[in-house]
Structure 1
Amino acid sequence: MKNRKLYLGPLTDNRRWDMVRIRPDDVFVVTPPKCGTTWMQTIVSLLFSGDPEVETELSLKMPWVDNRIREMPEVAERLEAMKHRRSMKSHTPMDGLPLDDHAQYICVFRHPLDAHFSFRKHVKNIPMTWFDSWFPENDEEGITFRRFLDGGAEGFDGDAMPLAHILQHYKAAAAVSDRPNVSLFHYADMKRDLKGTFSRLADILDMTYSEAVMEQLVQAATFDNMKDKAERYAPSGGKGFFRSDAEFFHSGTSGKWLGKLTVDELANYDSIMNAYLDPKDRAWLEYGSRGKVDT
């Protein structure tokens, strides 16, 4: 943990990374939850294999190392035994990860409000009760959004993904984004140009395929295909972990929050965003490379 910030919650523990021996060609997918993590992992898996029918098995082949559910010695042993190029997932901000000079770090972000509303759906689809008090079934008093705004970036709060945790992720990634092995992607850009996302990532990973193969890989990673084959593409898909594998891919849309927040709730959100980010950074974090587009 030398020179790394501690992130420790009921679900995650970034000290677990101390047991991973990093290889120079490793690929880290680093995101706040519900920001396109599984989507980006799937793209990496497809590019690694060049096979649109690859069985991704993300939970085993590209494990979430921070997750305390699996015993870390078993995860570390499985990673060490891998002979192929490896990829790993993390929901820990970059200042809590081991930063290797050669491994690639792929950081993915999404509009914080979209990520929040997607996370609301997510916690109802998993058999865990840790965050029930944050996400009550009947929330007439707006408890869930208040805790999203006032929760801290670390500890128990961090695992419930409040706004502070998302902002910490972004600031930590932006602080090292000048390094050649750290790349920032945005969910909105991935939706607008999935083919371009594949092309950019293939360049980063130094992988080349024919145009025909790339078209097949892109098609495999479309939202509709991943939802139709949810047992294949959802983490631990087909194993009964989620109440519904298909519901893991609920809609894939942006603007989930429109019409669902009060004027005061939006004003409080705006106040925090403006206090922590300059206008350029806020525009990117919310809307990607194009910024906000008026319609």
Structure 2
Amino acid sequence: MTARNLYLGPLTDSRRWDRIAIRPDDVIVVTPPKCGTTWMQTIVALLLSGDPQVDTELSIKMPWIDIRLREIDDVAARVEAMTHRRSMKSHTPMDGLPIDDSAHYFCVFRHPLDAHFSFRKHLRNLPLRWFDHWFPEDDPDGVTVRRFLDGGAEGFDTDAMPLAHIIRHYQAASALADRSNVTLFHYADMTRDLRGTFVKVAKLMGIKHSPDTMDSLVQAATFDNMRAHADRFAPAGGKGFMKSDTAFFDSGTSGKWVGQLTDAEIAAYDQQMDAALSPDDRAWLEYGASGSDAGSAA
């Protein structure tokens, strides 16, 4: 087995995957936070069930293995007891995960600045206070953006999702993209063509549904429907964990960062992206298949 990198933060621990026996038909959704994780999990859940009314219960039925809030003994036992086709979630880069030749890995990305601004709002909707000094509510000095740009890809910084960690996620997934069981998706492409995303995921999973059923599944996974039924689609929805399940689905748009950064902050972001990625890789990580902001959601 190839040695895996360790990603150990206050919230997550990649070593927890050592307790999970991967099955050949497992589907593992791997993303940085706020990049379309729940959306892809919902697509997988809908395709597996063929039922637009399915109660996804993502935190239980498609668990986040890395998170340290639940005892790994309990999580591993629950996952092992599942008799249906399984899907799981990870916010660990691919170089920190066990890679099984038969399992499917769906890696989802989003413009790093959109992910950052979405993550800011997400943290305000959670009862956890671990990252207050990274994301101060009153931030006249731009501490949040500075730490986003200066943070490292590992250690404590892992769970605060700095730019370096997002880039590490992309580089680790890209390094495996030639494998038939590792597929990269982009939030902007999913927004532009949700039906096409369903068709692609269904083909990768070897699942077929009638056209009418696919129509109903695609409709169920639209942003408006998921937000309208946030108690059913949000992670731990209806359980009172988040301050607002509806607020989890903030806007579903791209370009959240436009007009929110200084010229110096944008220049620092550009410098870090250009130093780490080729022009083509940067264009894809930011905008998906189009390679530009043309056609992305406003």
Which letter maps to 1:149? L
Report the Cα distance in structure 1 between the residues aligned to 2:80 and 2:269, rounded to whole angstroms: 43
The correspondence of residues 1-295 of structure 1 with structure 2, limited to 5 A, is 3-294=3-294
Report the Cα distance in structure 2 between the residues aligned to 1:138 and 1:16, rounded to whole angstroms: 35
1:159 is displaced (CA, Å) by: 0.3
1:2 is displaced (CA, Å) by: 5.9
Q: 1:294 to 1:56 in 2, by over 3 A?
A: closer
Report the Cα distance in structure 2 between the residues aligned to 1:35 and 1:230, rounded to whole angstroms: 17
Report the Cα distance in structure 2 between the residues aligned to 1:157 and 1:41, rounded to whole angstroms: 25
1:155 is displaced (CA, Å) by: 1.1
CA deviation profile, 1:225-247 (whole Å, cap 9, x unmatched): 00000000000001110000000
Report the Cα distance in structure 1 between the residues aligned to 2:266 and 2:8, rounded to whole angstroms: 30
Report the Cα distance in structure 2 between the residues aligned to 1:241 and 1:68, rounded to whole angstroms: 16
Report the Cα distance in structure 1 between the residues aligned to 2:273 and 2:18, rounded to whole angstroms: 33
SS in 1 for 2:242: coil
SS in 2 for 1:135: coil
Report the Cα distance in structure 1 between the residues aligned to 2:69 and 2:294, rounded to whole angstroms: 43
Report the Cα distance in structure 1 between the residues aligned to 2:116 and 2:293, rounded to whole angstroms: 21
SS in 2 for 1:106: strand
SS in 2 for 1:28: strand
CA deviation profile, 1:133-182 (whole Å, cap 9, x unmatched): 00111100000000000000011101000000000000000001100000
SS in 2 for 1:266: helix
Q: Which runs of 5+ in 1 are unaligned?
A: none
Q: 1:214 to 1:171 in 2, by over 3 A?
A: same
What TM-score do you get using the length of structure 2 for normalisation? 0.98
1:268 is displaced (CA, Å) by: 0.5
Number of residue pairs aligned between Structure 1 and Structure 2: 295
Give the alignment's Cα RMSD to 1 decimal.
0.9
Report the Cα distance in structure 1 between the residues aligned to 2:13 and 2:26, rounded to whole angstroms: 20
1:86 is displaced (CA, Å) by: 0.1
Which letter maps to 1:202? A
Percent identity reads 69
Which letter maps to 1:227? R
Which letter maps to 1:285? L
1:294 is displaced (CA, Å) by: 4.8
1:210 is displaced (CA, Å) by: 0.6
